[in-house]
A = this chain, B = another copy of it.
Amino acid sequence: VNPTLTAVAAHATPDVQAQSDDRGITIDRVGIRRLRYPLLLATPSGPQATVAEWELTVELDARERGTHMSRFVETLEAFADVAMSGRRLMQMLAVLRDRLDAPRTDARCTLTQFIERAAPISEQRAQHVIDCSFVASSSVEREQLTLGVRVPITTLCPCSKEISEYGAHNQRGYVSISAELEPTSDLGFLDLLAIAERSGSAVVYPLLKRVDERHVTMQAYDSPTFVEDVVRNAALGLIGDPRVIGFTVEAENNESIHDHSAVASVNWRRQ
């Protein structure tokens, strides 16, 4: 690095973003999106290195023309070695708010987490991927934190089972949960995963031997679920966890008998 050169050049380059603006429009969010960055995720079994995609924005006062885009990346880089959790993310947003002198900062971060999963009978182990997300907002008055997961499940149609002499159509479905938490909550992605996986007809595995395939085939047939059942089951699980302040849960089935999906969603806030 050459600080002298940087200082000289900075002097020579006018700060257009710092100009004032007279259109009278406050900008709710301005910043960067689709920035992929290495992430160290805090998990119950220690930090896990993964790849995240970020959206980081600030609120911009009506009188300011622009924000300083490079400071978002600088802040991410400064937190690169921190094992990221909801709590750490709130800290990062407070730093960003200060660094950009902004009334509010918002973050959306999607990432993948792997867990080791054993097949139900053979107990053979392999890595199972979970799509996760942090959504957070930080201002002087208020901090908000939402954790999200998108979890594949098997769903077997109760109607198809009931009306057919044999068989029942089933398919891969996805349960998506966005759960709002206290910013200091210890609820993690694996808690949401557990709720999602209890809501369908069967759990999905990375590796199944024949004995396992037999098991999950019959398990799904024994536990038929509509998308309506899946979201209600997951909603009851989320309501039952006192750490959850509010949530949106959605189930989407990639119907095996159609080329479109069946979907259902429930929004809820603790009173």
Contacts and interface: CB of A to CB of B under 8 A. Distances in A.
Interface of A: 1-2, 5-6, 9-10, 12-17, 21, 23, 25-38, 49-51, 55, 57, 60, 65-67, 69-70, 73-74, 76-77, 80, 112, 114, 121-129, 152, 154, 156-160, 162-172, 202, 204-211, 213-214, 216-218, 220-221, 226-229, 231-233, 235-236, 252, 254-267
A124 B205 contact: no
A156 B232 CA distance: 28
A135 to B, nearest CB: 15
A16 B218 contact: no
Which of A35, A69, A229, A254 neighbours the largest number of chain B CB atoms within 10 Å of its CB? Answer: A69
9 contacts: A9-B211, A10-B211, A23-B235, A25-B266, A35-B206, A35-B260, A76-B126, A172-B259, A206-B258
A204 B160 CA distance: 15
A56 to B, nearest CB: 10
A151 B120 CA distance: 33
Nearest to A60: B228
B228 A67 contact: yes
A207 B69 CA distance: 9
A33 B263 contact: yes
A127 B208 contact: no
Contacts of A264: 27, 29-31, 57, 60
Given A127-B38, A218-B167, A263-B31, A159 B258 contact: no
A6 B254 contact: no
Given A164-B221, A172-B259, 4 more contacts: A16-B162, A49-B49, A55-B263, A169-B216
B206 A260 contact: yes
B167 A25 contact: no
Contacts of A206: 35, 73, 258-260
A183 B229 CA distance: 33
B124 A13 contact: no
A217 B260 contact: no
A256 B172 contact: yes
B159 A267 contact: no
B10 A127 contact: no
Contact of A262 (B69, B77, B205): B69
